[in-house]
A and B are shown apart, each in its own frame.
Chain A
Amino acid sequence: MTNHATIAAQIQVAIATLAEKPADSILPETQLIGDGSVLDSMKLVELCLQLEDMASELGFDFDWTSETAMSRSRGMFRSVASLTEQFICQLEGRV
């Protein structure tokens, strides 16, 4: 079974690749939406498509259109950490 650290690393690499930055510059607190985001809207959609593929390989459907997805305060895209946490929650069927 894929552990959480492996998933977090895969998401970090995916974001770094899309952002064209070194992986170690993508931190848990790195923003994915708003003025400080490392990704533009097109790259954010591409990230979601990659997460869909990753989820498919892990045997679940990644839902990136949830009510809280884009909320600045509670949304999954507010940081790398929140996205990773949401992805793992969905993997484990906790949402």
Chain B
Amino acid sequence: MILVTGASRGLGRAICERLTERGTEVLGISRSTDPFPFRSLSCDVSSYEAVKDLVRVLRRERTVVDGLVNAAGAASMNLAVTTPSSVSQRLIQVNLLGTIYCCQLVAPMMARQKKGVIINFSTIAVSLGLKGESVYVASKAGVEGFSRSFAREMADFNVRVNCIAPGPIDTGLLKGITPTQIAQIVDRQIIAKKFTPDDVSDLVELLLDPRASALSGQLLQVGGA
């Protein structure tokens, strides 16, 4: 079973739908309690206790978690000097701490079975150092650093940890960025093309595949940077 956070919308939703289409058992995690076309549970990943409760349920059900995709995320495009502290805290709490909490609490289930794949999400904005995204970039740079170190910690347990860094993808996270700004970011990618949630789902499938067994601690930048 693949656990996907941020399952209610955006990339998380697209990944859940793709994996479900492929016949992979998915458990979608989001704050929403709406019904989804895949099994889902409500959990706020920015709460350590909430994630701990979720994992407790999974352990009691003796769920075998083969993969964890940490797609839950928040974005806010502001100059650092105009970013309210509550927004900075929210970005770090959801993007960085949410990823860390899910990793540190789910990984022991994988360590127990000596097998597992973890995929975290960064952004191409980290490599490009995009203006107007500094706090968001800081939260995602943290995810990249964490993923690389965590990959080493989990390697002894045959658990692979990688990170995907998309460029601008049509999801709710792009709200507030103008088409011109998006075009400028896309132009700075190595492949100057706007990619889609389907392209990101392809990469998720690639990383989950056993044929990616040699890949850990890697950052896959969608479009290249």
Contacts and interface: CB of A to CB of B under 8 A. Distances in A.
B56 A41 contact: no
Tell me the dominant secondary structure on chain B's binding face: helix
Nearest to B56: A61
Contacts, number: 16
Interface stretch (B66-74, B104-112, B135-143, B203-211): B104-112
Contacts of B156: 42
Contacts of B157: 42, 45
A65 interface: yes
B66 to A, nearest CB: 17
A49 B56 contact: no
Contacts of A46: 111
Contacts of A65: 52, 104-105
A65 B157 CA distance: 19
Interface residues of B, number: 10
Contact of B108 (A41, A45, A61): A45
A48 B153 contact: no
Interface in B129-165: 153, 156-157
Given A61-B56, A65-B104, A41 B153 contact: yes
B108 A48 contact: yes
Nearest to B108: A49
16 contacts: A41-B153, A42-B156, A42-B157, A45-B108, A45-B111, A45-B157, A46-B111, A48-B108, A49-B108, A49-B111, A49-B112, A52-B108, A61-B56, A65-B52, A65-B104, A65-B105
Interface string B52-63: 100010000000
A24 to B, nearest CB: 28
B173 to A, nearest CB: 30
Contacts of A41: 153
Nearest to A53: B112
A49 B109 CA distance: 9
A9 B153 CA distance: 29
Interface in A31-86: 41-42, 45-46, 48-49, 52, 61, 65
Interface in B93-120: 104-105, 108, 111-112
A45 B114 CA distance: 12
A65 B56 CA distance: 13
A87 B140 CA distance: 36
A64 to B, nearest CB: 9
